[in-house]
Amino acid sequence: MTSRIPQQPPPGRRFEESDPAPVASQGHQPVAPAYGSAPFHTPATFYGAREPAVANVASGVAFLAGVWLALAPFALDYAPAAEGLEGYWHDIVIGAAIAVLALVRSLAPRHLPELSLVNVALGVWLVFAPIVLGYEPWPGSTTAAVNNVVVGGVVVAMGLLSAMATYRRRRRNESEGEL
């Protein structure tokens, strides 16, 4: 039975170097920081460096833009008439794709910066989609076209910002020898 009273260290040894914990049944002493001391690791030790906040925020904005694009046919009421079917389903599918890619990217901003570049390509497609798909004059065509161009511009800007922040951070970490 061991006593809970702190023992005096042997002569010639400092108190921090004493070994108050008994050896476990596995044959080694458990590793735990002393009470009140800093932990052995920080989140930066596990992940290599802090997550780039700019990439995280930019991906979050791109996520919101994708959700808006997917909900825009309902919110702006460009109904799926026979003439406007391509614009209706186009916005739902592309908006969902942008939202999913941006969500994955915002959850892990240091990893997969290529997803931001895919979002940039989808944003460029959104800007030119009304011309390429040839939105026929239907009651919601102007609203859908303007919405696509604005959301496409936001997605391009946020995707470039997110990818650029991550690649810049990687280059800096590689030059410092952290990665």
Q: Supply the pLDDT for residue 96.
A: 96
b/e string for 124-157 if b means 16 or more Cβ within 10 A?
Answer: ebbbebbeeeebeebebbeebbebbbebbebbbb
Q: Supply the mean pLDDT for the chain.
A: 76
Q: Supply the pLDDT for residue 145.
A: 86
Share of the chain above pLDDT 90, in %: 29
Q: Tens of pLDDT along 3-15?
A: 566 566 556 555 5
Q: Supply the pLDDT for residue 68.
A: 95
Q: Supply the pLDDT for residue 121.
A: 96
Q: Supply the pLDDT for residue 45.
A: 43
Q: Tens of pLDDT along 43-66?
A: 444 444 455 688 888 999 999 999
Taken as a whole, the chain contains a residue count of 179
Q: Tens of pLDDT along 17-39?
A: 455 555 555 555 555 655 655 55
Q: Tens of pLDDT along 66-75?
A: 999 999 988 8
Higher pLDDT, 153 or 76: 153
Q: What is the mean pLDDT of residues 91-98?
A: 94
Q: Supply the pLDDT for residue 10.
A: 58
Helix H segments across the chain?
43-47, 53-75, 85-107, 114-132, 141-176
